[in-house]
Amino acid sequence: MVKRLFLISLLILGLSILSWGSIKLVMAVHWSDYQVNGVYDKNGNLVSKGLKQYVDEYMHLNPDVKIEIQSVAFDDYLKKILITHMSGKSADVYLLYSLWGVQLVDSGILNVPPRYISEDVKKNYVESAIKGTTINNVIWGIPIEVDNYALVYNKKLLKEAGYSHPPKTWDELVEMAPKLIKKDNKGAVKQYGFAFLAGWDSAVVHPYLSLLYSCGGKMLAPGYKKCLLNSPEAIKALNEELRVFKNGGTDPSASVWNFAQGTVAMIIMAPWYESSLKIAFGDKFAETVGVAPIPYIDKPANVSYAWFTGVDSTCKHKKQAWKFLSWLCSEIQPNTKTTRLGDLMAETIGAIPPRIIDLKNHPKQLEDVYTRTFIKELKHSIPEPNVVQGAEIKTTLMNEIVKAWHGEQTAKQALEKATKKINEILSEYY
Amino acid sequence: MKNKNPNILTMKRKETFAGYFFISPALLFYSIFFIFPVTFSFLISFKRWNMLRPLSSSPWIGFRNYIYLFTRDDLFKASLINSVIYAFVTVFLTLSIALLIAVVLLNIKYAVVWRFIFFAPIVTPQVALGIVWGYLYDPNRGLLNSILSFFGIPTHHWLTDPSLALFSVMITAVWAGIGGPLLIFTASLKGIPDLYYDAAKIDGANAIKRFWYITLPLLRPTLLFTIITGLLGAWQVFDLIYIMTRNAPAESVWVVSLYMYQIAFQSLRMGRASAAAFILFLIVLVITLIVLRIFKKGGIEGYE
């Protein structure tokens, strides 16, 4: 009996010693299955690498490091961060939406990256991505994705209505949208000219901010002490959105998601929608889908947001975590002159990688008909503000805009209410 | 009083101890999963806590969360009103329709088949029901508008029109909720002796009078149970509203449970969400007590 107990103890001790040698990192991501596991053809051959293949490669090169990928849907991602943090089981490495950054930094969740990482970010990334990753003048991680918006239109539907080009100005869009609507003999809409999307704060607020910037307006005053959404420019921008409803070019039941079914002629969308559209339209993607800059009101303008990778402040192996992220996101591969994350973003995920060298060296993926407009538009893109309670501020603005879409209040009333509520939120923190 | 037997007292103490001993596992479970979370939430409702900072370092703000909800938060007030409307209308309609169907099905052939049909939605997940009814309500391709337009009746944006969206969800909730009370009413109706009805018939009472003066009074305990459980369920509605009304203006469709979810996990204000939960708890408690009192006056006891 004693002998057996001794052997068991020896076995446990041996396993413990073995496990001391390995470093375990948990990486939380919000990506879908194909983005994590890669894209395979019908015969099961890997066509495009997912995150898992890169992680496996890193673990092969560094046998002492074990990395576990934990993926949850975007809708549940922030909740996962909150709950795992409360339960003391935080991930070590996160992908983070820039809007959440301030709160995470304020609450001490994020670890400041080593100097070699922040210096690299400052030198090698597009400005909107650097701004998205910077909070209180400190860079908090490595940018992995920058998104802005463009007008995505259905070439065939525009052609059927007699239009050979998409609208350049907002006035043109307002005029074209009702002519692209098709109704059956009982009045049911079979095809929308233009579609917004209620119920998702980014889908409501980002297109509105693009129009606001086009009118020369701003959402918040410098230092985030005051909301400026009751300005004449802000009211003008929302009134311009409301014109599309009043002219009969859309209604609140229209949805950007119906574009993929060919029942919406024009939407304002982000670059990551390309993969879904390619699946939906198949071989007819190139002849059906067109992309143009957002039709401007007074001047071309756009809004952008960023995602970055960060390391949790409670991570036991911070140095190794940053080393892994640097290998994945910043290290240039000699044969392609691109980063691994750049490849993943451009080839599998269909998003714009924010590292300048990746933008240059992915011509096939980033200079295609769909994505090149978004890249060109980066020069007009103003980053979404990194403000405390950013998500709450965005939802507040969305709720008021959606009420205006439904004709429950005027643009002025909506924005004055939003301004009052947002000022209350800002006054708590600034 | 002095002549109480000390042996009896010791015996009673032992019995009390044994009683507590036997219920201790349940008590422990109840404490961990009910008393602790409720007390914790109550404590949080007086704090400004975003779930990211340690609770100990989050500021104590007294009743400010409660004051804010009642004085400055239009969305909470709208959500509260929507919750009240939703709870009373759905419970009233569900129980009325379920009772009517139970009475009609009581003595017909193949009643069990009909009961199964009405009960089926109960075993279907609310999320699935919400998605299917979302298709039925689609303003341009939905079945409901197709039927209306076939008869030349104007069509509607059922789930986005602020004046209709909540009622559209209530129709779904009523449809989905009939099955449970229907079974309970059927069981209760079968328990009413026929001799009451026979005597009433001899006295010349028609069907409506028999229902009003015999069936309803004898169903009162069942009605009390179904009203209270129905109201408790209706106050907590979340899935159907969340799935079906995402494109409608928040103030026209949000209920308190959805408000709490959004404020806690979107706005990261767990304190305010907890305060909203306690306000809802108090309202539910008061209304439940009122319902119990009304029924107690009518002779129904034993539910306190």
> Tell me, what's the pLDDT at A9?
72
pLDDT, chain A, mean: 92
Indicate whether A251 and A310 sit together in one domain: no
Query: How many angstroms from the chain centroid is the CA of residue A40?
Result: 24
Q: If we measure between CA atoms, which residue out of A269, A164, A243, A286 comes closest to residue A407?
A: A243
Indicate whether A171 and A243 sit together in one domain: yes
Kindly determine whether residue A186 and residue B250, on different chains, have CB atoms separated by under 8 Å.
no
pLDDT at B28 over 60: yes
Indicate whether A136 and A234 sit together in one domain: no
Query: How many angstroms from the chain centroid is the CA of residue A370?
Result: 16
Higher pLDDT, B126 or A6: B126
List the 204-233 stretch of B: residues with Cβ below 8 A of A: none
Q: If we measure between CA atoms, which residue out of A9, A16, A130, A20 comes closest to residue A64?
A: A20
Q: If we measure between CA atoms, which residue out of A321, A76, A333, A99 comes closest to residue A219?
A: A99
Q: Is residue A16 part of a domain?
A: no
Cα dihedral across residues A181, A186, A187, A192: positive or negative: negative
The minimal CB distance from B139 to the residues A107, A199, A253 is found for: A253
Indicate whether A298 and A313 sit together in one domain: no
Chain segment A254-309, per-residue pLDDT in tens: 999 999 999 999 999 999 898 889 888 989 999 999 999 999 999 999 999 999 99
Query: What is d(CA A88, CA B207) in angstroms, rounded to the nearest whole number?
Result: 65
- Best probe of the B interface among A83, A107, A245, A426, by most B CBs < 10 A, is A107
Judged by a CB distance cut-off of 8 A, whether residue B248 touches chain A is yes
Kindly determine whether residue A189 and residue B51, on different chains, have CB atoms separated by under 8 Å.
no
Indicate whether A295 and A311 sit together in one domain: no
Chain segment B244-255, per-residue pLDDT in tens: 998 899 999 999
Residue where one domain finishes, among candidates A351, A367, A382: A382
A424 CB neighbours in chain B (<8 A) are 72
Q: Is residue A393 part of a domain?
A: yes
Q: Is residue A7 part of a domain?
A: no
Q: Find the largest Cα–Cα distance for chain A.
A: 90
Q: Are A396 and A425 in contact (CB under 8 A)?
A: yes
Query: What is d(CA B292, CA B299) in angstroms, rounded to the nearest whole number?
Result: 10
Q: Is residue A331 part of a domain?
A: yes
CA angle A11, A14, A18 (to 5 degrees): 140
- Residue A338 belongs to domain with CATH number: 3.40.190.10
> Tell me, what's the pLDDT at B3?
55
Kindly determine whether residue B160 and residue A79, on different chains, have CB atoms separated by under 8 Å.
no
Confidence band for A225, pLDDT divided at 50, 70 and 90: very high
pLDDT at B109 over 90: no
Kindly determine whether residue B141 and residue A389, on different chains, have CB atoms separated by under 8 Å.
no
Judged by a CB distance cut-off of 8 A, whether residue A19 touches chain B is no
Indicate whether A45 and A58 sit together in one domain: yes
Judged by a CB distance cut-off of 8 A, whether residue A188 touches chain B is yes
Indicate whether A204 and A71 sit together in one domain: no
Q: Is residue A3 part of a domain?
A: no
> Tell me, what's the pLDDT at A240?
97
A255 CB neighbours in chain B (<8 A) are 247
Percent of chain A predicted with pLDDT > 90: 75
Judged by a CB distance cut-off of 8 A, whether residue B52 touches chain A is yes
Indicate whether A59 and A190 sit together in one domain: no
Judged by a CB distance cut-off of 8 A, whether residue A427 touches chain B is no
The minimal CB distance from B51 to the residues A82, A199, A402 is found for: A82
Indicate whether A162 and A188 sit together in one domain: yes
Parent domain of A212: 150-303+386-429
Kindly determine whether residue B162 and residue A253, on different chains, have CB atoms separated by under 8 Å.
no
Residue of chain A minimizing CA distance to B153: A186
The CA distance from A395 to the nearest CA of chain B, in Å, is 8
Indicate whether A410 and A396 sit together in one domain: yes
Please tell me the total count of domains within chain A: 2
pLDDT at A14 over 70: no
Indicate whether A240 and A208 sit together in one domain: yes
Q: Is residue A9 part of a domain?
A: no
Chain segment B213-268, per-residue pLDDT in tens: 999 999 988 998 899 999 989 998 999 999 999 889 999 999 999 999 999 998 99
Percent of chain A predicted with pLDDT > 70: 97
- CATH numeric code, B73-297: 1.10.3720.10
ipTM: 0.84
B162 CB neighbours in chain A (<8 A) are 403, 406, 408
pLDDT at B102 over 70: yes
HEC string for chain A: CHHHHHHHHHHHHHHHHHHHCCEEEEEEECCCHHHHHCEECCCCCEEECCHHHHHHHHHHHCCCEEEEEEECCHHHHHHHHHHHHHCCCCCCEEEEEHHHHHHHHHCCCECCCCHHHHHHHHHHECHHHHHHHEECCEECCEEEEEECCEEEEEHHHHHHCCCCCCCCEHHHHHHHHHHCCEECCCCCEEEEEEECCCCCHHHHHHHHHHHHHHCCCCCECHHHCCECCCCHHHHHHHHHHHHHHHCCCCCCCCCHHHHHHCCEEEEEECHHHHHHHHHHHHHHHHHHEEEECCCECCCCCEEEEEEEEEEECCCCCHHHHHHHHHHHHHCEECCCCEEHHHHHHHHHHCCECCEHHHHHCCHHHHCCCCHHHHHHHHHHEEECCCCCCHHHHHHHHHHHHHHHHCCCCCHHHHHHHHHHHHHHHHHHHC
